[in-house]
Amino acid sequence: MAAHLARVDLHNEAVNAVVTLASDTALAEAEAADRTLARGDDVGPLHGLPVAHKDLFVTAGLRTTFGSRVFADHVPTETSLIVERERRAGAITLGKTNTPEFGAGSQTFNEVFGATRNPYDLTKTCGGSSGGSAVALATGMVPIADGSDLGGSLRNPASFCNVVGLRPTPGRVPSWPDAAPWFPFGVAGPMARTVGDVALLLDAVAGPDSRAPLSVGIPAVPCLDALSRDFRDVRVAWSPDLGGLPVEPDVTAVLERQRGTFESLGCLVDDGCPDFSGADMVFTTWRAWVYDLLYGETLDRHPGMLKDTVVWNIEAGRRLSGRDLADAERARAALHDRVRRFMTEYEFLLLPVTQVLPFDIDQPYVTDINGEALPTYLDWMKSCYQISVTCLPAVSIPCGHTDEGLPVGLQIVGRPYDERGVLQLAHAFEQATEFWKRRPDLPSPP
C-alpha cells in the first residue's frame, strides 16, 4: 500500500487521476490485512490489493462527487454493490478516480477537479468516462480499478491509456443503488493492466444479487483459471470501420498490423460485421430517456449548475414521445436479430475501440473525423456505443502504438454472456504481442 501511495505522490499532480485519497484508512487496513496473513487466516482473492473506485460509485463515508459541482461536498451513507464485493474479496480502497460530470462524454474533465491527462502524452485526453481509473492503472497507482460503461466508458479510456477494460453483459456485474435497475445499456465492470488481472477482478464482483434485477439468473462464470485456450479454426470477423464509420488512418494502420496475429493464433479471419442500421437511434433515444430519469430532477433543482451536454441530453429525453420509444424498440429488436444471426456464424467480432487517437486535453469532444462533421458530443463514440446496444460482452485490449507513442486499443466482441471467451481471446492476443508492457515515460517532478 505504501508503494502505491508513493506512486500517487509521484505522478498524480501531473495527471490528476485520483481526486479523493483515503491514505490513512488505506494504510490502517493494509496493516490489518498483514496481521490476517500472519495469523494464517483464510483470505479473499483480492486480499490486500489497493483498488480505486470511479467517482460515480457511492462510498459510505468517503466523498463521492459524480464530477458535479452540485455534489462537490457529498459524502454518501451507502456503498455501491461493486465496491462492497471488492472489499469483501479483500481489496482496500485507496481513493476515488476522476470522471466527467455524471459520466457524460468520453473526455474526463469537470468543474470540481479539472481534467485528467493522458500519461502517454500530457497534452492529450485520457478518454472517459472511466478516465481516472485508466490513468491510475497506467501510472501504477493501483493494480486494479473499477469503472462503468454506457457508451464506451470502460473501453474508450482503456484504449487511450494502454490498459484493459471489460464491458460485461448487462447483469453479469450487478449494479446497486440504481435508479434505472432494468435499463440494460449501462454496466459496471473491471479494469486492469492485464487480462489476467481483469479476470481476477471480474471473478470477485460477478454474480447475481436480488437488489439488481438484471443479474437474477445470471450466475458467475469463473474466468481467471480458464484463460488458456486453443483458437485453431475459430471464426472471427474483422471490421476496421464497423460497416462504414469514419476512422482516423493512424488508428486503422495500427490495428491492421495485428490482423496477422489472430491468424497466427489459428483463427479463421474474415472481413465482415453485422448490419448496424438503427443502432444510432436506439442508443441516442434510450440514452436521452435515462438521462432525464437520472438527472432531470437535479437540473430542475440546480439550474445553471450542470454542463451543457448533460442539459442537452436531459432536454432531449423530455422531448421524447411514446412513438419515439416504440420506434427505438422496434429498431432494437431488428438489430438484435441481425446480430444474433451474425454471431452464430462468427464467435468474435474484432474492431476499433475508438475511431480517433487521443486528442487535445482542451477539446471537450471530437467535432469531425477525416473531414466528416459530427453534430453532437456522442457521434465520435459510435464504434463503442453501437456495440453497447447489442448487450454483447466486449473488451478493449492494447493493440500497439502510433509512431508518436499514442496507444491504440482493439475491441473484441463475443457472443451473449461469453465474457470467458472474450477474455480468452484477449489473453491469447496479449500473450502474443505484450503491448501492455509499454509503460508511459512520465517526467519526475522537481
Q: Could you list the active site residues?
A: 54, 129, 153
How many alpha carbons lie under 13 Å from residue 155 in its C-beta half-sphere? 32
Q: How far is CA 140 from CA 44, 136, 167, 260, in A?
A: 22, 6, 22, 31
Q: In 3D, which of 197, 233, 231, 235 has the Cα closest to residue 397?
A: 197
**What percent of the chain is helix, strand and coil (3-state, nearest 5)?**
40, 15, 45
What is the greatest pairwise CA distance in the chain? 64
Rounded to whole angstroms, the Cα distance separating 212 from 320 reads 26
Q: Give residue for cell 519526475.
A: 444
Element (H, E) at 125: strand 121-125
Q: Are 194 and 164 in contact (CB under 8 A)?
A: yes
CB neighbour class for 212 (10 Å; exposed up to 12, middle 13-18, buried from 19): buried
3-state secondary structure 394-437: EEEEEEEECCCCCEEEEEEECCCCCHHHHHHHHHHHHHHHCHHH
Which residues are within 8 A (CB) of 1 and not within 5 positions of it... i.e. 6 or more apart? 26, 27, 29, 30, 48, 50, 92, 94
Q: Are 97 and 17 in contact (CB under 8 A)?
A: yes
Element (H, E) at 350: strand 348-352
Rounded to whole angstroms, the Cα distance separating 280 from 169 reads 20
Q: Give residue for cell 470502460.
A: 154
Q: In 3D, which of 200, 217, 135, 207 has the Cα closest to residue 166?
A: 200
Q: Are strands 109-110 and 117-118 parallel, antiparallel or unpaired?
A: unpaired
Rounded to whole angstroms, the Cα distance separating 96 from 71 reads 14
